[in-house]
A = this chain, B = another copy of it.
Amino acid sequence: RSGKMAKSTKLIDNEVFQAYATYTAIVLLKMMLMSLITAYFRITRKAFVNPEDTASFGKGDSAKKYLRTDPDVERVRRGHLNDLENIVPFVGIGLLYALSGPELSSALLHFRIFTGARILHTLAYLIPLPQPGRGLSWAVGYAVTFSMAYQVLKTVLFL
């Protein structure tokens, strides 16, 4: 593929950018999956938050009792928020990192470890695994993003 790179100035023909695009799409799809899991638990646990969502269960008290929190729903929601808190920095800093001209092998290492760590984090949250399973998977993803931010600032610092 290096021949293609030499001829093209298009971002999308750059292998590091292709790797960034691939892993970013994967982690964002993984994050989007949390919405479906939340919906699944809301429906199976009959635990809703908006009155209009329980209208199909009848009127008055018969529907109102389904306006409640459920531990499984809340657990998925915490996992989803943790994804937002960690995947947003990865997507933003990862883009800058991919454009800063890293070695392909180094970029792949960062992207793969982050993606693996976030998938493990979700599993650790939802199963749930005993600690420090979730804590470690969170810390690995955090460290990868920090390492990319360091590379970006080292390359482009313009204050």
Contacts and interface: CB of A to CB of B under 8 A. Distances in A.
Q: Interface size for chain A: under 10, 10 to 19, 20 to 34, or 35 or more residues?
A: 35 or more
A35 interface: yes
A84 interface: yes
A6 interface: no
Contact of A157 (B22, B85, B100, B153): B22
Interface in A104-150: 128-131, 134, 138, 142, 145-146, 149
A46 B64 CA distance: 26
Contacts of A95: 95
A141 to B, nearest CB: 10
A21 B55 contact: no
Interface string A26-62: 1011011011000000000000011011011000000
A72 interface: no
Contacts of A155: 12
A40 to B, nearest CB: 14
Contacts of A18: 156-158
Contact of A99 (B12, B85, B130, B131): B12
